[in-house]
Amino acid sequence: MVVPSAGSDCSATLAGVSAPDVDVTFRVKTDETATGGSPAYVYATSRREGSNAYRPKLIFNTNGSIAVHASRLVNGSETALAPPVVVPGLSHAADAFIWVRASVTGTDPTTVRVKAWADGSNQPALWLFEATDSTPALQAAGSVGLHAYLGSASYSVPLLFSFDDYVVVAPD
């Protein structure tokens, strides 16, 4: 995905997929790192229906750290489900893949979990981020996809987000 400028985004949705519970795994890298400004984000969009979705996310902080987080998007308004969690020992480097796994399960409440790890490392056993939510507009099946957003960070634009090994399954 190519994000053309600061404050813009790019997304891809598997509109033919509709599921209430999903377990999403993929790896992502950018072609450069930030030198200031605000972070860049990658969303594992889940339960997307119209302008509503859960957004488990990976945050590329401008200090080089990586955080996991999740929010809900309802009628175009985004709200955090809990504060972001910095992934211990994981840092952002240009052209270095980072694995992301997100799980969105249950209804009323829905549980959203996210973890991330370095390419070539073992997947952590525990989820780093976990939150629950009961927003009525998000308690049904929806589509999945990927979304990249570039804040006001100091990157040369356009910024290239490369994805690989994207897998969506029903959770165990």
| Cα–Cα dist 40/28, whole Å | 12
pLDDT at residue 48, as a whole number:
96
Mean of pLDDT over the chain:
94
The percentage of residues in the chain with a pLDDT greater than 90, rounded to a whole number, is 85
pTM over 0.85: yes
**How many domains does the chain fold into?**
1
Higher-pLDDT residue of 108 and 172 is: 108
Give 61: exposed, middle or buried? Use CB within 10 Å, 0-12, 13-18, 19+.
middle
Cβ proximity of 26 and 168 under 8 Å: no
pLDDT tens per residue across span 84-113: 999 999 999 999 999 999 999 999 999 999
Mean pLDDT, residues 79-86: 98
Domain that residue 59 falls in: 2-169
User: Which CATH number covers residue 17?
Assistant: 2.60.120.560
pLDDT at residue 153, as a whole number:
66
